Structure 1
Amino acid sequence: MSIIKKLASQTAIYGISSIFGRFLNYLLVPLYTYYFTAAEYGVVSEFYAYAGFFSVLLLFGFETGYFRFRDKEHAGRDVAYSTALMFVVLVNLGFFALILLVNTRLSAALNYANHPEYVLCFSLILILDAIAAIPFARLRAENRAFRFAGVKIIEIGATVLLSLFFIIYCPKVYAKNPDSWVTLVYNPSIGIGYIFIANLMASGFKFLLLAPQLSGLAWGFDRALFGRMVRYSLPMVAIGFAGIINEMLDRALLKYLLPYDVQTNMKMLGIYSACYKLSILMSLFIQAFRYAAEPFFFAYAGKSDARQVYAVVLKFFVIFCVFIFLLVTLFIDFFKYFVGDEFRAGLEVVPILLLANLCLGIYINLSIWYKLTDRTLLGALVSLTGAALTIALNVWWIPLFGYVGSAWATLACYGSMAVVSYLLGQKYYPVNYDVKRVIAYIGLGIGLYYAHGQLLPTIAWQPWLLASALMLLYVLITALFEGRQANVGTG
Structure 2
Amino acid sequence: MIQTIIYSIGFILPKIINYAFLKFFTRSLKIEEFSLYTDMYALSFLAIGFLSFGLENTYFRFLSKKNHNKEVLFSTGVIVQLFIISFFLILSVNSIKYLVSIAGYKNHPEYFIMFFLIIFFDTICVLPMAWIRANEMALKYTTINMINILIQSIFVIYMFSLQEIKKETNLIQKFYFSIFELIDSFTDKTGYIFFANMIASLSNFILILPIILRKVTIKKFNKFLAKEMLNYGIPIMLGTIAFSINENLDKILMKRWYSDEINGAYSACYKIASFMSLYIRAFRLGIEPFFFKKSEDADATYYYGEIIYIFIVLGLIFYVLICGNISILIDFLIDKRYHIAIPIIPIVMMGYLFLGIYTNLSIFYKIIDKPIIGTYISLIGVFITILFNVVFILIPNSSFMIPAWGTLFSYVSMVLFLYFWGKKKFLKSYKRTWSILIHLFLAFLLVVYIVNNEKRTDIRIILQLLYFILVFLFEMNNFFSKTEK
Instruction: Give the shorter-chain TM-score range.
Output: over 0.9
1:341 Cα deviation from its structure 2 partner: 1.2
| Contact 1:159–1:199 (8 Å) recurs in 2 | yes
Q: Which residue, 440, 443, 446 being the options, matches 2:441?
A: 443
Q: Secondary structure of the equivalent of 2:296?
A: coil
Are 1:390 and 2:385 counterparts?
yes
Q: Secondary structure of the equivalent of 1:394?
A: helix
Are 1:403 and 2:396 counterparts?
no
Are 1:84 and 2:77 counterparts?
yes
| Contact 1:61–1:236 (8 Å) recurs in 2 | yes
| Contact 1:398–1:405 (8 Å) recurs in 2 | no
Report the equivalent of 1:130.
123
Report the equivalent of 2:293.
299
Report the equivalent of 2:306.
312
1:416 Cα deviation from its structure 2 partner: 0.4
1:195 Cα deviation from its structure 2 partner: 0.7
Alpha-carbon displacement from aligned partner over 1:417-468 (angstroms, at most 9, x marks no partner): 00001011122333615111111111111122233246555x6xxx2x5433
Report the equivalent of 2:374.
379
Distance (whole Å) between structure 2 residues aligned to residue 109 and residue 413 of structure 1:
28
1:280 Cα deviation from its structure 2 partner: 3.4
Q: Secondary structure of the equivalent of 1:276?
A: helix
CA distance 1:241–1:43, change in 2 (3 Å): same
CA distance 1:139–1:112, change in 2 (3 Å): same
| Contact 2:64–2:292 (8 Å) recurs in 1 | no
After superposition, where does 1:176-215 map in structure 2 within 5 Å? 176-177=169-170, 180-187=174-181, 188=184, 190-215=188-213
Aligned amino acid, residue 20 of structure 2:
L
Distance (whole Å) between structure 1 residues aligned to residue 54 and residue 380 of structure 2:
19
Report the equivalent of 1:47.
40
1:72 Cα deviation from its structure 2 partner: 7.5
Distance (whole Å) between structure 2 residues aligned to residue 73 and residue 300 of structure 1:
13
Report the equivalent of 1:254.
254
Report the equivalent of 1:217.
216
| Contact 1:71–1:79 (8 Å) recurs in 2 | no
Report the equivalent of 1:420.
417
Distance (whole Å) between structure 1 residues aligned to residue 201 and residue 267 of structure 2:
22
Aligned amino acid, residue 362 of structure 2:
S
Alpha-carbon displacement from aligned partner over 1:349-383 (angstroms, at most 9, x marks no partner): 10111111011111111111210111111221111
Point out 4+ residue stretches in structure 1 off by more than 6 angstroms.
Answer: 71-76
After superposition, where does 1:242-281 map in structure 2 within 5 Å? 242-258=242-258, 265-281=259-275
Aligned amino acid, residue 347 of structure 2:
I
CA distance 1:232–1:208, change in 2 (3 Å): same
Q: Which residue, 469, 479, 483 being the options, matches 1:486?
A: 479
Identity %: 29
| Contact 1:174–1:182 (8 Å) recurs in 2 | no
Report the equivalent of 2:20.
27
Report the equivalent of 1:261.
none
After superposition, where does 1:59-70 map in structure 2 within 5 Å? 59-70=52-63
Report the equivalent of 2:432.
434
Q: Which residue, 357, 360, 368 being the options, matches 1:365?
A: 360
Aligned amino acid, residue 148 of structure 1:
Y
TM-score (normalised: structure 2): 0.93
Aligned amino acid, residue 181 of structure 1:
F
Aligned amino acid, residue 402 of structure 1:
S
Distance (whole Å) between structure 2 residues aligned to residue 69 and residue 370 of structure 1:
14
After superposing the two structures, state which structure 1 stretch, 166-175 or 468-477, moved more: 166-175
Report the equivalent of 1:3.
none
| Contact 1:314–1:433 (8 Å) recurs in 2 | no
| Contact 1:70–1:81 (8 Å) recurs in 2 | no
Q: Secondary structure of the equivalent of 1:27?
A: helix
Are 1:38 and 2:31 counterparts?
yes
Distance (whole Å) between structure 2 residues aligned to residue 145 and residue 160 of structure 1:
23
Alpha-carbon displacement from aligned partner over 1:185-244 (angstroms, at most 9, x marks no partner): 224562211010000001111111112221221262101111111111111111111111
Distance (whole Å) between structure 2 residues aligned to residue 288 and residue 42 of structure 1:
28
| Contact 1:70–1:78 (8 Å) recurs in 2 | no
CA distance 1:167–1:478, change in 2 (3 Å): same
Report the equivalent of 2:134.
141
After superposing the two structures, state which structure 1 stretch, 434-443 or 167-176, moved more: 167-176
| Contact 2:159–2:180 (8 Å) recurs in 1 | yes
Report the equivalent of 2:146.
153
Alpha-carbon displacement from aligned partner over 1:295-349 (angstroms, at most 9, x marks no partner): 2211111222211111111111111111111111121122212111111111011
After superposing the two structures, state which structure 1 stretch, 358-367 or 290-299, moved more: 290-299
| Contact 1:15–1:289 (8 Å) recurs in 2 | yes
| Contact 2:388–2:406 (8 Å) recurs in 1 | yes
1:39 Cα deviation from its structure 2 partner: 0.7
Aligned amino acid, residue 424 of structure 1:
W
- Structure 1: tracts of 5 or more residues without a match: 1-5, 259-264
Q: Secondary structure of the equivalent of 2:180?
A: coil
- Structure 2: tracts of 5 or more residues without a match: none
After superposing the two structures, state which structure 1 stretch, 328-337 or 174-183, moved more: 174-183
TM-score (normalised: structure 1): 0.91
Aligned amino acid, residue 227 of structure 1:
K
Aligned amino acid, residue 400 of structure 2:
Y
| Contact 1:61–1:234 (8 Å) recurs in 2 | yes
Tell me how large the CA RMSD over aligned residues is.
Answer: 2.0
Q: Which residue, 11, 14, 35 being the options, matches 2:7?
A: 14
Distance (whole Å) between structure 1 residues aligned to residue 297 and residue 150 of structure 2:
40
| Contact 2:251–2:263 (8 Å) recurs in 1 | yes
Distance (whole Å) between structure 2 residues aligned to residue 72 and residue 32 of structure 1:
46
1:257 Cα deviation from its structure 2 partner: 3.1
